[in-house]
Chain A
Amino acid sequence: MTLKQKRIFLDKIFSYFCRITTYASILILFLLLFHIVKAGASWLDWQLITSFPSRHASKAGIKSGLFGSLYLVAVTIIFSVPIGIGTAIYLQEYAKKNKITQLIKLNISNLAGMPSIIYGLIGLAIFVRFLGFDRSLLAGGLTLALLILPVIIIASQEALAAVPRSLRDAAYALGARQWQVVIFQVLPAALPGIMTGIILAVSRSIGETAPLIIIGALSYAAFIPNGVMDSFTALPIQIYNWASRPQQEFQELAAGGILVLLILLFVLNGIAVFIRQRYQRFS
């Protein structure tokens, strides 16, 4: 081979490799979905959703897990969203750009990278034991709220930072005070971005399993929690429980549960994408 041929050959091979790898990783996504649908589709029916878990796979369902997860999301949102947006507004609009602000931002990005299992340990030590919330919905929700707080703060900050300078200038030039500019102009303009961030963070919390196991969510519960101090189970825990059993039926049941979980996540992500496209005004 001449040098020229060799160069052309390498270039070609390389481009094929890149293409194949990329499509292979997308293929894995479809393979994963296909595999789960194949195993779980026949279990995905009304009975799965309306029944409590059972020792008999044919009678088992995810009712307690599904309700547990939905209640958890509510508790998580109540605690994380106001604090998250508030912190982002403070950091982006009010805080002076000094060393301390820098440190806080670094701290937040580190918290965002902290493994979720560590949040479980904090939840266990602080909410479950120190504050005496026991293994309740409240303890679970607070733990997940801590977990997604940094994600919400970072997303909200980015959304606020993306609001153009000119909008603030326009408002200030009309004699607006800073809180008026922030509340009436900047926040509404940033809201689509903030909402997208919140939805993505919440959908992350729905799939979280490890922290809930650590704080001691029940792996078997045949009831729906009555209040925030009640004990609970959650959808991913139910899935884990079934997936770790050796019997074929329970494995398939786990796939059915995963399907419900994935449908929930796809709906949430669909909403996020819709908001992003519908309200993308500054780009």
Chain B
Amino acid sequence: MFIEIKNLDIFYGQKKAVKNINLKVKKGLVTAMIGPSGCGKSTLLRSLNRMNDFIPGARVEGEVNFLGKNIYGKNIDPVELRSKIGMVFQKPNPFPKSIYNNIIWGPKINGYEGDFDELVEEALKGAALWDEVKDRLHESAFALSGGQQQRLCIARAVAMKPEVILMDEPCSALDPKSTLRVEKLINDLKGKFSVIIVTHNMQQAARVSDETCFMYEGELIEHDKTETIFTKPAHKKTEDYITGRFG
């Protein structure tokens, strides 16, 4: 199995934010996580590459198996894990460096020995940004628009050639047009990478994902093919949510 979560609980101090999750994520697909705000979907996402290690007071119980190994087990180096499971955040967060240096920073510190120019071109093409920025690779990344910055962040993740890219509401800070481009990009990434995307936008989940998980108050209510979730959900809660009765 690619990613297999077993009996996962996540606490913030005394508060249990994520309760007893059991979930299998398939390789090469786009998996969406939906649910009302505060349902624990972002927390769950951050636990998959141990980014929650940086949140003071966060504590994890249970297992997250990635390629057969529990990432919370002994002898696991979270830094190495993160070079295989990349992440894109809510707000675009490029480094205060040039576009070029944004892309190569991750591979460089991880000892990449190939040709950096090629890597940059490949990553930017992979993120559908190459044509827009190829003439100004050495300009500051902050000169890009918000949507371009977010695609740069995706390119930066792609350049690491990870197995999985986690996306935490990647379009929440973007305008509709940029959102569309990012969604198209996620579709292009399918097959090459596995993508797990948290979104508060149900239409987005329906447009981009193969499978969808619905979470509510820290629990995983339902996980199925996206089509099934949106046409004939098995649970009453899921149905209420996707038909807009709450959330």
Contact = CB atoms under 8 A, between A and B. Distances in A.
Nearest to A185: B95
Contact of B105 (A164, A168, A174, A189): A174
A101 to B, nearest CB: 13
Interface stretch (A142-150, A175-183, A234-242): A175-183
Interface in A165-222: 166-177, 180, 184-185, 188-189
Nearest to B50: A172
Contacts of B56: 97
Kindly state the interface size class of chain A when it binds its partner.
20 to 34
Nearest to B106: A174
B166 to A, nearest CB: 8
B157 interface: yes
A188 B96 CA distance: 9
A188 B105 CA distance: 14
B89 A176 contact: no
Interface string A106-127: 0000000000000000000000
Nearest to A168: B54
Contact of A173 (B80, B87, B94, B109): B87
B162 to A, nearest CB: 9
Contacts of B160: 174-175
A174 B97 CA distance: 15
Interface in A246-283: 281
A175 to B, nearest CB: 3
Contacts of B88: 173
Interface in B83-124: 83-84, 86-89, 91, 93-96, 105-106, 109-110
A176 B49 CA distance: 13
A173 B95 contact: no
A174 B83 contact: yes
Contact of B95 (A167, A177, A180): A167
Interface in B44-90: 49, 51, 54, 56, 79-84, 86-89
B96 A173 contact: no
A169 B54 contact: yes
B79 A175 contact: yes
Nearest to A97: B56
Contacts of A164: 93
B153 interface: yes
Contact of A174 (B54, B82, B91): B82
A184 B105 CA distance: 9
A174 B110 CA distance: 9
Given A97-B56, A168-B54, A281-B96, A173 B79 contact: no
A172 B82 contact: yes
B156 interface: yes
A177 B80 CA distance: 9
B54 A166 contact: no
A159 to B, nearest CB: 14
A49 to B, nearest CB: 41
A172 B51 contact: yes
Contact of A170 (B79, B93, B109): B93
Contacts of B54: 168-169, 172
B86 A174 contact: yes
B120 to A, nearest CB: 14
B160 to A, nearest CB: 6
A172 B83 CA distance: 9
Which residue of A166, A173, A176 has the most chain B CB atoms within 10 A of its CB atom?
Answer: A173
Given A172-B51, A172-B54, A180-B109, A189 B93 contact: no
B93 to A, nearest CB: 4
Interface of B: 49, 51, 54, 56, 79-84, 86-89, 91, 93-96, 105-106, 109-110, 142, 153, 156-157, 160
18 contacts: A166-B91, A168-B54, A169-B89, A170-B95, A170-B153, A170-B156, A171-B95, A172-B79, A173-B51, A173-B89, A174-B83, A174-B110, A174-B156, A174-B157, A174-B160, A175-B79, A175-B106, A180-B109
The 10 A-B pairs at the shortest CB distance, nearest first, are namely: A175-B83, A174-B106, A173-B87, A166-B93, A175-B82, A170-B93, A180-B109, A177-B79, A281-B96, A176-B109
Given A166-B93, A173-B157, A175-B160, 20 more contacts: A164-B93, A167-B95, A170-B93, A170-B95, A171-B95, A172-B79, A173-B49, A173-B82, A173-B89, A174-B83, A174-B110, A174-B156, A174-B160, A175-B81, A175-B83, A175-B106, A176-B79, A177-B79, A177-B109, A281-B142
